[in-house]
């Protein structure tokens, strides 16, 4: 959502589908390939790849950037899961704002039945 809004404000068009299939593609975001590799390695729980990705980020962007990226990944991993596990529904306004992006990313396949 924020990438789409940021793109509207900056005039840049980001390639959101570059993150869908796990194959790193240029998204037009700075350092996209090494940051995506970090996300994927954490998702895969592959210690060797995590260490390699961390080193690449530190080399290219600095240690603080690696720490910020790790914190961001942790937050994105935790917040939605907390909301989902407690059954907190997505607000109608957010559902409307993200409808186009969700369709583009094919997120309907992740929807689950209510209890």
**Which of 100, 96, 77, 91 has its CA nearest to residue 17?**
100
Distance (Å, whole) CA 100 – CA 103: 5
Distance (Å, whole) CA 6 – CA 9: 5
Token pair 């793109």 is at which residue? Answer: 7
Q: Examine the pLDDT at 33 and tell me if it is beyond 80.
A: yes
DSSP state of 46: -
- Total length of the chain: 115
Mean pLDDT of 49-55: 95
89-104 pLDDT tens trace:
777 787 787 788 778 8
């Amino acid at each position: 959502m924020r990438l789409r809004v940021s793109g509207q404000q900056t005039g840049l068009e980001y390639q959101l589908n570059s993150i869908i299939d796990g194959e790193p593609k240029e998204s037009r975001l700075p350092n996209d390939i090494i940051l995506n590799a970090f996300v994927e390695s954490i998702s895969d729980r592959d210690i060797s790849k995590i260490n390699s990705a961390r080193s690449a980020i530190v080399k290219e962007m600095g240690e603080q950037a690696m720490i910020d990226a790790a914190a961001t990944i942790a937050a994105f991993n935790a917040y939605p899961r907390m909301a989902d596990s407690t059954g907190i529904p997505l607000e109608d306004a957010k559902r409307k704002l993200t409808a186009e992006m969700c369709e583009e990313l094919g997120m309907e396949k992740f929807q689950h039945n209510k209890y």
